[in-house]
Amino acid sequence: MAQDLPPVLHPDSLPLITAAPGVTLRELSGRTAPAGARSDKVSVALFRLEPGKASAWSHNKLGEESFFVLSGEGEVWTDGKVQPVQPGSYIVIQPSTVRSIRASKGVPLTFYAITSPAWSSDDDVLTTAPAGAPQ
């Protein structure tokens, strides 16, 4: 009896989701991913931030999130502290940690966001920027 093979996905074949002006993503796995890639355990999304753009200030209630930078340069803010990121940078962000990632002004930033359990809007809490952080 032949077993169905898991799908091999390429981001270019997936729908482009606009999260905010200049912030787009393509979901490779997760709760609303394509058939065969749906998961409640983990989500993986490929993000693209246009130059100078940033993800929303937010934190997860339960989900542990990590960012793996593929291209571009920028900075990641976690609980009011900033660190530079570049291709190959990887950061694990614990639940309840307020975070945002921002592309430098001259070049787009692309990165994978991996969340476990899989990202859901019920787990994601939008908030304001910490004191001293960019809006």
Residue ranges per domain, the chain? Answer: 18-126
> C-alpha angle 32/58/102, rounded to 5°?
95
> In what order do the strands lie in the sheet containing 58-60?
81-85, 74-78, 99-103, 58-60, 124-126
For residues 11-37, b (16+ Cβ closer than 10 Å) or e, as one string? beebeeeeeeeebbbbbbbbeebeeeb
Q: pLDDT (tens digit, 0 to 9) for every residue of the chain, 135 residues total?
A: 456 788 889 999 999 999 999 999 999 999 999 888 999 999 999 999 999 999 999 999 999 999 999 999 999 999 889 999 999 999 999 999 999 999 999 999 999 999 999 999 999 999 998 888 887
CA–CA separation, 56 vs 126, rounded Å? Answer: 7
- Identify the CATH class of 18-126: mainly beta
